[in-house]
Structure 1
């Protein structure tokens, strides 16, 4: 698609404009994949609301001319009427600042979405068009955007799209989309694009949503480079305002975009107050449960904090004489953090080959289990390995303690 717009030369335009961009707040998310208790999940969902309040406060303090949201403001499958009232109230509080919202794959513009059901304040505009088109003009700046109309939108938005060479506006792109040059592991692809397509299409900067770790990248660099601020054509993800899991390190906040004297400058600003920390501890040298507890406490002393959600994974060889009680260890370390999870991925230090040679019931059990493990695959193999360990503990008449 080729769009023709006639304006004065881009670099002759003198502007002073400031935009605050955020994305992927995910209000009402369940946190089921993390394993939070209902109490912890409710607490953290409330913190997502507090993050939005901080975003809007920053917008007022910075005296921005526009707030943009790059999608996934809330979770469509879980939203409540209270969420709608909360959003209404928060945006009404900043009625002098225009707000431009783009529906994403988790909050698509469906017939029963909050975007359609809610009576939004007059300063809020919802993007509803499926095709990429201009949705906002601020002086000589034009913002182009499109909405996700379903949770499975896959079309490439910049495929064959190009603005005419003779337009003079500064053109910004606002979308919920996947940068195909750096797809995070396991992240579903929605509305894919390549970084070079942004500049080729005629845009000076792209304000994005979908990826949960914030970054800015210059389109003038020979490769994708993550920066805290740039003063060149580029694109950026602000990241989630608060991290949503143990796989979400890095920046979490907003992008402040300033346009003046024909130049575009972008800067990442932090918003998050919480952090997810995770470690793997090799306990192969431990000779008692107290040794393992000491290792955990040493790590917890370094990582502790009321704003930290922590996970420790025990790995390595576990000596047969150690009774690994995860409940006791969780209780000992839990007070160091807002939330603490402990996982056991150790393997027993038994000599299975030697045990299999025994002319005993235990030897017959080991031989049978080793044969089954050899034939098994995937999760079944891991289950059988755990069963072998538990069985050997039973032969030793030891108490069977929690293993996962």
Structure 2
């Protein structure tokens, strides 16, 4: 069984500069993921949440998602805390094609991927911080059991009876024996570096998983991540003069003598973007 995993794409996220171009690149990244799924002949595509940002998701993005997932491959979506499932969510409003399955319950529910192979999934069903979806969950089926969810603690996987969990929320990729955080496939901030992308996961008969990472970032291929257009230099002194939370943040970072200039710039850019809540 071959599964293509990604998470935390954050379509329609806000950028401090060149927003339309960067958001277009995120859409292109999703297109590359779907193309890769069809080219490699995977059995399903898995998204572990934060596919888009609920508060800023546009009708055109909803239409784009429906069109993108209208493909030859089954698609399983587990809504996260930024794209939570609810009456006003894209997940509930879009008339998805039959190949798309959206997990809609806050508790883990099973789907049969193949004989003796179960995929459990759950959704965040309201705004708020990411919760540990696996907390208190225990497998009730035999065979190989996999999970798809957003925001769970890796330490919980071993006690659930799951063979492997595909997890979202953490933007830094992490591949362990019994879980996979793919990281976000297209970096959103300067600090999100290193190998990341869509992860081709091969599930073996004993429940073990082998992985191969594919770089699908449209932003990276356009060299946006290394340009001032992607992450422009800010006038930090002007921001520091503000009587605001972000002004205090900048003052504190500028006063920290333990940071070299390169690290100081990364901390400032990443922190300011976090304060803007993307």
Give me the TM-score of the superposition, normalised by structure 2: 0.79
Distance 2:82 2:181 in 1: 17
Distance 1:382 1:155 in 2: 32
Indicate conservation of the 8 Å contact 1:215/1:251, yes or no. Answer: no
The answer on 1:132 being equivalent to 2:108 is yes
The answer on 1:259 being equivalent to 2:212 is no
Distance 2:36 2:110 in 1: 27
The answer on 1:113 being equivalent to 2:72 is no
Distance 2:56 2:250 in 1: 36
Shift of 1:173: 1.0
Secondary structure of 2:95's match? coil
Shift of 1:154: 5.4
Pair 1:89–1:26, CA change in 2 (3 A): same
State the Cα RMSD in Å.
2.6
Pair 1:143–1:112, CA change in 2 (3 A): same
Deviations 1:37-88 (A, max 9, x none): xxx1100100001001110111011101111111111111111111111111
Once the two structures are overlaid, the 10-residue window that deviates more, 56-65 or 261-270, is 261-270
Indicate the residue corresponding to 2:69 in structure 1. 91
Pair 1:340–1:79, CA change in 2 (3 A): closer
More strand, by proportion: 1
Distance 2:209 2:169 in 1: 22
Indicate the residue corresponding to 1:30 in structure 2. 14
Indicate the residue corresponding to 2:232 in structure 1. 341
Shift of 1:381: 11
5 Å-filtered alignment, 1:1-400, equals 17-31=1-15, 35-36=16-17, 40-92=18-70, 94=71, 96-152=72-128, 155-163=131-139, 167-178=141-152, 193=153, 195-218=154-177, 234-267=178-211, 268-275=213-220, 307-310=223-226, 338-339=229-230, 341-343=232-234, 379=248, 382=251
Distance 2:123 2:251 in 1: 44
Distance 1:89 1:382 in 2: 46
Pair 1:154–1:209, CA change in 2 (3 A): closer
Deviations 1:190-214 (A, max 9, x none): xxx2x33212211111101111122
Secondary structure of 1:341's match? coil
Indicate the residue corresponding to 2:268 in structure 1. none
Relative contact order higher in (CA < 8 Å, ≥ 6 apart): 2
Indicate the residue corresponding to 2:267 in structure 1. none
Once the two structures are overlaid, the 10-residue window that deviates more, 151-160 or 22-31, is 151-160
Secondary structure of 2:54's match? coil
Shift of 1:242: 0.6
- For structure 2, list consecutive stretches of 5 or more residues without a partner in the other structure: 238-246, 255-278
Give me the TM-score of the superposition, normalised by structure 1: 0.55
Which structure has the larger Rg over C-alpha atoms? Answer: 1
Shift of 1:122: 1.0
Distance 1:26 1:144 in 2: 23
Distance 2:40 2:249 in 1: 56
- For structure 1, list consecutive stretches of 5 or more residues without a partner in the other structure: 1-16, 179-192, 219-233, 276-304, 311-335, 347-377, 386-404
